[in-house]
Chains A and B, each alone.
Chain A
Amino acid sequence: MNILIKNGRVIDPVNNIDKICDVLVNGEKIVRVEENISESAEKIIDADGLWVVPGLIDLHVHLRDPGFEKKETIRTGSRSAAMGGFTTICCMPNTKPVIDNEIIVEYVNMKANRDSVVNILPIGSITKGQKGEELADIGKMADVGICAVSEDGRSVENAYLMKTALKYASMFNLPVFSHCEDLNLVAKGQINAGDKASVLGLRGISNDSEEVIVSRDIILADSVNARLHLCHMSTKGCVELIRQAKERGIYVTAEVTPHHFTLTEDDICDYDSNYKMNPPLRTKEDVKALKQALKDNIIEVISTDHAPHHTDDKNCEFEKAANGIIGLETSVCLAISELVETEVLTPCQLIEKMSCNPAKILNLDKGTLSLGSTADITIIDPKQEYIINTEKFLSKARNTPFNGRKVKGKVLYTIIGGNVIVENGNLREEFK
C-alpha cells in the first residue's frame, strides 16, 4: 500500500531534516521525503500542524510475559506501546521463567510474532535466573536475537561477575543495560531518603545507593572496553559521574524515565503506592540536574521503564507494594509537556532521545526517515491538550500517578513497516 503523509513537520535528526514537507511510503519502505509530492496514494494523511518522526523506540519495557500475564502480556503491552507511538520496544528479562536462555527468547519471539503489533526485541538476563551467580547463555541468546543483556530489577552484586559479563557480552556486540542499586545501602528503603521520608516515616533510599554502582560499572566498562548503558538514572550525582566518564572518553550511554524528570518526592501523597518506584522519585535538585543532562546530551535516551502491575500488587501496605509504574501511553505527552514546552529540548532533540539514540545503542537500522529505510513512522500532534484517563489505556495495568493530569502532545498515528496501526489516536479495528 502507498501512504502519502502531507504537509507535516518532518523531523529526521539523522538526516538533519526539520522542515514542512511530505513523506511517501511504498509498501514497507519510505521512498520519498520532499516538498509537494503530487503522486497519488491509496492513503493520504493530512499532517498539517503535526510532527512526522521516525518511529519511537523504547529500550526499557516490562511485558511480564511469560509468567506474570495477570499484569501484562505481549499482546496488551504491544498495543499500549503502539498507542504511545512506539514502533519498537525492548522487553526486560525479569519474567518467570527469566529470559536467560535461547528457549525463552524463542518463546518471546514466537509470541511477539503471533500477538504483537509492534517490533519486540527481547533483552537477555546477565546471569542464570538473575541470581547473580553464573553467566546466562548470552551467546546462545545472541544467536536468536536478543538486543542487549540486563539484570534489570537489581544489580549484579559481584563486581567480578559484572566485569566478566561486560567482557563476554562485548564479544557479541551486545550492550549491557545496568540497573544500578546497592541493596546493602538501600537497606529496605521505600522512597527517597529526604524530607518526605522523614515526614511519612518510611525508610529512605539514599542517592549513594545508586551512584556507587554507577561509578563501579563505569570503571568496569572502561577497563574491559565494553558497551555500558545505564538504566533509569535518577540523581544529580549520577549525572556528574556520567559527565566525567564522557569527558574521559569512556563510551557509556544513559537513560532517564518520564516520571523521574516530571515528579519529585514532594508529589508523593499519603501512602499512595502509585508513587512507589525504583529508583524512587528524588528531589527538585535532582530533577533539575536530569533535565540539564538531557539538554547537554549527557543523558541521551528517554525510556519508559513501563512496569505494569495488577491492582492486587499495588493496593496494599506501601512497603509490600510492587515497584514501578506504567509509561508507554504517557511518555510522549509528558516529554512534550515537561521538556519541549519548557524549552529544555527542541523537538529535534526529543526525537533523537526517543528514537535515533536508542537505535544507535542497539545498532539498529531504525530511528530514521532515510530513503529506503523501513517505514516505522510516528505522527504526533504537539499542541493537543488533554487529560490523561487511564480507563482508556490499552495496557492491562492502571498503575500510574498521572491519571487526571493535564498534558500536551498526543500520538495520532503509529505506522510500522508501512502498516497503519494507530489512526487518529485509536488502534485500528483489525488490530484490536
Chain B
Amino acid sequence: MFNRKDLLGLRDLSENEIMTILETAKIMKEKIDNPLKRSDELKSASVVTLFYENSTRTKMSFMLAGDYLGAIVKDLGVSTSSVNKGESLIDTGLNLDQMGINVMIIRHSMTGAPHILAKNVNASVVNAGDGINEHPTQALLDLFTILDYKKRFKGLNVTILGDISHSRVARSNVFGLTKLGAKVTLAGPSTLVSNSMKSLGVDVVTNIPKAVSNADVVMGLRIQFERQKAMPFPSLREYSSLFGVNNDILKYAKDDVLVMHPGPVNRGIEFSTEVIDGKHSVINIQVKNGVAVRMAILKLLTERGN
C-alpha cells in the first residue's frame, strides 16, 4: 500500500510502503530494457524537476522515468529561473501548482526544503536530496539492488564507508535498512563519522578492515568537499591508504559481497579502480535500477486515490 501525497524520506516510511515501492519497481524495470513495454499510463501526469543543486544521475533518471511512462516532463532550470531574481521556494512552488504540475521533484542544499514545499503545494513532492538529510530515491534503488541480489534484508551485514556525516544517502539507507532488519555499520575517519549516529541504531567504526569483515554489502561514499568546513583529514593520500577500500581490504568481506556506490565515484579515493570495476561491483546496475525505482514512485504518487 502506498497512499502518500509526497515522498520526503525513508525516516517516515513503513516497511510495507518500502516493499510496495520495490515490488512496483520490479515491474517497471522490464520497461527499461524492452522499449516495446514502455507505456503511456502516466500520460495525464505532469512532472517538473526543480534542482537547486547539481545532478547527473538523479535528474536524468527522473526525467527518463517520466518519459518511459508517457508523462509530461519538464525541467525548471533553476539557475536560469526567477529564483535568481530572489523568488522564494514557496512562491516558486505556488506558481508551478497553478500551471497544473502534478509532481515536483526537488533537490536542495538545505535540509527540510522539500518538506516546506510539500506543505505549501497541492502537487506531490519528491525529495531528490535535501541538505545533509535524506535522499530517499537513492536509498530505495540501493535497497532494490540489494534485494535483487541477496533476496532478503534480515540479518544482512551492510557496511557504509566514507563521508557519512555529510551524506544524505547514508542517512536514508540507515533508515531503510534498519527498518528492514539489516545490520548497518558506518565507517570512516572520526571526523567524518559521528558517534551520535549510533542513536539511529547502527554501529560506528573507524577501523576499515574491521568494518568490512563479514560484510554482505560494502557501500562507498564520495567525500563531499563542497560541504566541508575544514579539511577533515590531512591529505587524500592518507585518506585512501587508511580509509579506502582496495582488493586486499575487500578480502575481509564475504565471498559474495556486493560493492555499491551512489556516484559520482572518485576513483582511487574511497574505492580503488580494481574494486570499482571488479566482479563484486554493481555500481552500474544501480543506475539502471534507479530509473526503475523512480518510475515506480511516479506511478504510485500519481495513481494515489485513483
Q: Which residues of A contact B (CB under 8 A)?
A: 184, 187-188, 190, 193-195, 197-204, 270-271, 312, 315-320
Contacts and interface: CB of A to CB of B under 8 A. Distances in A.
B196 A201 contact: no
Contacts of B111: 190, 200-203, 271, 318-319
A316 B134 contact: no
Given A199-B11, A200-B133, 9 more contacts: A195-B196, A199-B200, A201-B132, A201-B133, A201-B134, A203-B132, A318-B111, A318-B116, A319-B110
7 A-B pairs closest in CB distance: A201-B133, A271-B112, A319-B110, A317-B110, A318-B112, A195-B199, A317-B113
B131 interface: yes
Nearest to B115: A271
Given A203-B132, A271-B116, A198 B110 contact: no
B130 interface: yes
6 contacts: A188-B229, A198-B197, A201-B171, A315-B116, A318-B111, A320-B110
Nearest to B229: A187
B107 interface: no
A391 B89 CA distance: 26
A193 B200 contact: no
Q: Does more than half of chain A's interface fall in helix, strand or loop, or is it mixed? A: loop
B115 A201 contact: no
B196 A198 contact: yes
Interface in B82-122: 88-90, 108, 110-113, 115-116
A193 B132 CA distance: 14
B183 interface: no
Contacts of B116: 271, 315-318
A319 B131 contact: yes
Nearest to B112: A271
B294 interface: no
B114 to A, nearest CB: 10
Contacts of A197: 196
A403 B89 CA distance: 26
Nearest to B228: A187
B68 to A, nearest CB: 31
Given A316-B116, A317-B112, A318-B112, A202 B133 contact: yes
B131 A198 contact: no
Nearest to A190: B111
A312 B87 CA distance: 12
Contact of B90 (A199, A200, A315): A315
A184 B90 CA distance: 31
Given A316-B88, A316-B89, A200 B200 contact: no
A318 B196 contact: no
B140 to A, nearest CB: 17
Interface in B169-208: 171, 194, 196-197, 199-200
B261 interface: no
Contact of A201 (B90, B131, B199, B229): B131
B168 interface: yes
A80 to B, nearest CB: 27
Nearest to B200: A198
B199 A198 contact: yes
A210 to B, nearest CB: 18
A315 B171 CA distance: 26
A94 B11 CA distance: 39
A261 B116 CA distance: 28
B112 A200 contact: yes
A190 B132 CA distance: 12
Contacts of A200: 111-112, 133
Contacts of B11: 199
Given A188-B229, A316-B116, A201 B89 contact: no
Given A201-B131, A201-B133, A270-B115, A317 B199 contact: no
Query: Which one of B112, B115, B194 has the greatest number of beta carbons of chain A within 10 Å?
Result: B112
Contacts of B196: 193-195, 197-198, 204
Contacts of B194: 198
Interface string B1-43: 0000000000100000000000000000000000000000000
A318 B111 CA distance: 7
Contacts of B90: 315-316
Query: Which one of A187, A193, A315, A317 has the greatest number of beta carbons of chain B within 10 Å?
Result: A317
A200 B132 CA distance: 9
B199 A202 contact: no
Nearest to A315: B90
A188 B131 CA distance: 12
A317 B89 contact: yes
Contacts of B197: 198
Nearest to B167: A201
A204 B196 CA distance: 10
B256 to A, nearest CB: 32
